Amino acid sequence: MNDDKAQIHDLLEVFTRALHQRDSAAAIAPLAEDAVVFDLAPPLRMGPEASHDPAILEAWFATWTSPIASRSHDLEVAVGGDVAYAYGLQHLTGTKADGAVVDLWFRATACFRRDAGRWRITHMHNSVPFAMDGSDRALLDLTP
C-alpha cells in the first residue's frame, strides 16, 4: 500500500475510533472545513456548519449505552494527487439506550482532499437502500 493510501486508512481509523469512544471532537477533527455529509439520519444534506456541530453527534451518541463499533468490509481506496475516495460496507454494532441491539450493515463512501499537506474528509455518504415495493421501508436487515 502506498503512503497516501495508508494515510487515508489512518484517517478513517481515527474516525472509527472516535465513534467507538463517542468522542464528538475527535469525530469532527478529520473533516475539511467545507465538509458536506449525507448521513443515515435526516436531514437530506448536512452542510459545513451542521457537519461540524458537536451537539448533533452528541445527541446521537447519547442514544447508545455501549461503544459504537463500526468495521469496514471490502474497502476500496483510490488516490490521485491531492484527491482521494474510499467506499465499502460498514458493519455497525452496539446497544442503544432503549435496550435495542444494533447489528446494521450500511454503505459508506468518503471523499478526501489534501489541505496544506494533511488529508481531510470533504464528504461522507452513509445509507441503506429502501424497498421499492410500495412500503418505502428502509432496509436495515440486509447483509452482504
Binding site for its own copies (CB under 8 A): 36, 38-45, 74, 76, 78-85, 87, 89, 105-107, 109, 111, 113, 122-123, 125, 127-132, 136-140, 142-144
Nearer to its own copies, 14 or 38 (CB): 38
Least Cβ distance, residue 136 to its own copies (angstroms) = 5
Place of cell 481531510: 120
Nearer to its own copies, 17 or 113 (CB): 113
Q: Indicate the helix (H) or strand (E) that contains 87.
A: strand 83-95
Nearer to its own copies, 24 or 122 (CB): 122
Helices (H), 21-95: 24-28, 48-51, 54-61
Least Cβ distance, residue 108 to its own copies (angstroms) = 9
Burial of 109 (0-12, 13-18, 19+ CB in 10 A): middle
Least Cβ distance, residue 137 to its own copies (angstroms) = 6
Cβ atoms of 1 and 109 within 8 Å: the answer is no
Least Cβ distance, residue 69 to its own copies (angstroms) = 18
The neighbouring-strand residues paired with 112 are 84, 121
Nearer to its own copies, 27 or 124 (CB): 124
